[in-house]
Amino acid sequence: MHNHYNGLKTAALFGVLWAVLLGLGALIGVNSRSAAPIWIMALIGIATTAYGYWNSDKIALRAMQAYPVSQAQAPELYEIVGELSARANQPMPRIYISPTPAPNAFATGRNPQNAAVCVTEGILQMLTPRELRGVLGHELMHVYNRDILTLSVAAAVAGVITSVGQMLLFFGGGDRRNSNPLALIAMALLAPLAASLIQVAISRTREYDADEDGSQLTGDPLALASALRKIHQGVQLAPLPQDQKLVNTSHLMIANPFRGGGMSRLFATHPPMQDRIARLERMAGRPLG
């Protein structure tokens, strides 16, 4: 169910992102004798992102200090994930638990054959089995929808734009006789900002998709709505520390794991929790009791 045309929104946002990149390239070609250093930096950014995509599961699991568990160690978790994987006709992912009291969960991996699902000890203590099933349905749909690839491409393009902006601020426009310094400064500052906002919008769109598709997989949108409400309250009480490794993987989690307010909300990779809960309640046809 994609009532909000999220697939089209993602495609449109990617179009804007590429338009910003191509616009930067055109302006650089006009104002600079050589754009080689800028594109070398861009290629480094793309290579770094490609490495991150290929190793996304290892990076995220290491950041959360997660450990693998067997079916004997976590029978209920295995039962839920196994049932949902079979319902989706997909292979069983590897299962991990992170030893943190902060309630959260994420799934990662470049495809269903290389997927991993991780939940924190905090979320296991907080949620009922029904609510946990709703969360796991959401996370599995991130893998089935290839969201890791989508978000990695968005991060790559946004990273290229940011690198170009930084190089412009450092080196200027090359041929200063024919360039407009104010235009170059504006381009160098505003293009990375626009890229970051578009990247955030793509991430938020994929969260809405995973909420909807995960609820279709479980057949129980109210379970996910109830879980999200509890997780949001739990994060306020026990947020994760803003360690850079955790910040870099926070977009994978079902809820923003940090306390945030003011301008930080503008760059949050997750939609407002109340909006997500309201959408799920509309899917179910009634508000959560």
Instruction: Compute φ and ψ for 107, nearest 5 degrees.
Output: -125, 145
Query: Per the structure block, which two tokens stand in for 255?
Result: 């809820």
* Identity at 107, one-letter amino acid code: A
Answer for the pair 217, 143: CB distance below 8 angstroms, yes or no: no
Instruction: Compute φ and ψ for 211, nearest 5 degrees.
Output: -60, -50
271 CB-near residues (< 8 Å, 6+ apart):
204, 207, 208
Nearest by Cα to 276 from 255, 252, 251: 255
Count Cβ atoms below 10 Å from residue 187 Cβ, excluding itself: 22
Count Cβ atoms below 10 Å from residue 184 Cβ, excluding itself: 21
Q: 211 to each of 19, 33, 223, 276, how far by Cα in Å?
A: 29, 49, 11, 8
Distance CA 36, CA 105 (A): 42
Q: In a 3-state reduction of DSSP, which class is residue 171?
A: helix
First-last CA distance in the chain: 23
Query: Per the structure block, which two tokens stand in for 227?
Result: 């879980």
Catalytic residue among 79, 121, 139, 212: 139
Rg of the chain in Å (alpha carbons): 21
Distance CA 16, CA 159 (A): 15
Distance CA 80, CA 103 (A): 18
Max CA distance (Å), the chain: 72
The verdict on whether 139 is a catalytic residue reads: yes
Active-site residue list: 139
